[in-house]
Chain A
Amino acid sequence: MWLLEKPGVADSFCLDYGRELEVALAHLCQIIEQHPAVVRQYPARWLAIKLLEQDRALQENLLQLSGGPAILTHAQISYQQLSRAEGEEVDVLIADRRYRWIHALVQDMVVQEQPNSATLSDQIDRIVLHRHWGVPLFLALMWVVFKITAETSAPFLKWIDAVINGPVARWAVLALTAVSLNNTWVESLFVGGIIAGVGGVLVFVPVLLFLYLALALLEDSGYMARAAFVMDRSMSKIGLHGKSFLPMLVGFGCSVPAIYATRTLENEKDRILTGLLVPFMSCGARLPVYVLFAAIFFPQQAGLVIFGLYLLGIVTAVFLGIILRRTIFAHKEQSVMLMELPPYRLPSPRNLWLHTWMRIRSFLHHATTLILLTSILIWFMRAIPVRGEGAFAQIPIENSLFAAAAQTVTPLLEPLGFGSWQMGGALLTGLVAKEVVITTLSQAYHVEEVTNEEETPTLATDALWIGESFLQATADMLKTLPGILGINLFGAVSEDEPTTLMAMIQQDFRRTSDGHTTAAALGFMVFILIYTPCIVTIAAQKQELGARWMWLSIGGQLLLAWLLAFVVFQVGRWLV
């Protein structure tokens, strides 16, 4: 720019657009200069260039000036002649000339101390984007993410569970006692319905916090774009459209925006196919279910099991995609994808926290709306008697409307090893939102806690205990960090006692699977992974793909979930 600021340089500067364009420009300038009204408004050469670039706003302004329409006619003729002769639109020719000039100027004026030297990003990309090691590196990183998430969040998970089922439940009873509503159905609704239901989901906030933090770290560092590229390259090789992976990547957070993101795919067949495959990308809402069952049945390999489920989801989506792409959704191959890669950067703690908090806040909003309403609905269904003796909210849960409704699907679940009405009810309500599976189990296995009144702590004692136990949970979390790398600094790790809910689920699975709890639990988790997503995702599929594909997706996922869970259980019971 210093060159153009020198006296007289700017006036004489004139970019050479090549012989053909310059001839056309000179001709147009002659026409323009014949009309003083136009020349008073615009420099002739500048106007000629803008008209050949087909500037719409300028064309409209020119129509208002004397001589403008005539100039426009000549410009249009010049444009058509040039386009025919060069085989390209004139504005492309003009832009191309400008880029060539800029490139030549940069070559002359800019001296690179180390020409052609690879930047740090390039050097890292040689490994991250490696043809053979890119995908295994991505999978290894995701394994680390899930291992860290599962193990470091465990102490906080137990802490929140203890706080909700201890002090919070006690405070709720105290408040209800103050208004003489204790020992009524209102107390049961609050404690057994809302606190147990919503609280059962809030327990998993630490899990999601660590997961979203890890994902934010991978995104902000610039790695996630590379992950999308290496997966795209692999998918292209097996016939799937590379751009399909970008919406799928979004699906790891939530399926709903991932379904809408399929709009970026131009080809309708690719768009519908991707919309059908997105739900197999295990969303964040399923994670609390995985964590709970992994903690119960696979306490030492929780991270590995959860990683395996995510991997199974990807493999299932890819496998189905290959089959569908070569059958129902076959079409002519599209061109390859060009992807922008952001430079690697050190994420700022503030941005990391902001991105994590926004996603957690979304989860909390969900918990205090949809999950809260569902908890209340489930409680009412638990309270309404359909058989046996007992009044409203004073019946064994097995005699309730909820149990009766859940028992309709129990026969279908028996071959899968988890044929109890509690699991059936949880899977049914999981259609509302996957987190509600936890809510339902918390209520379905609800056990009345017997409290000795002489031992009831005061509010101050509770508050002190909450603070102390939080610090203890933090210390326990820090102790797990070296263990993730295989470094045991603190001796043998003592196994925590399972919560009442965990013990009840384990007992129930032992009964329904005839002792083959591991296989049944794995089958259940596979079912959760594959079966129909939440109603909001279904609504998104209906809007984006149409009702026909929505129903096909619902039926197909239910059938596939049943088949896979059946295979896992039936094969697993013989192996384990």
Chain B
Amino acid sequence: MKVVVDRRRCMGMGACESLAPEHFEVHDDGQVMLLRESVADESRMDVEAAVEGCPTEALRLEERVVR
């Protein structure tokens, strides 16, 4: 599973960093940086909370396609 950021919506509020700091960090340019490529099962709940918690709904989860 991976996180996709809609850069037009991301305003660097930081709710995601607060809920899943291993996956998200806001930089001083005001945009979020994804710290990990994919979401491990054990982090799923935190990352889902971060996606839900984004005030501008800039995040969504996508299942990785395994070829």
Are A and B genuine complex partners? Answer: no
Interface, chain A (partner B; CB < 8 A): none
Interface, chain B (partner A; CB < 8 A): none
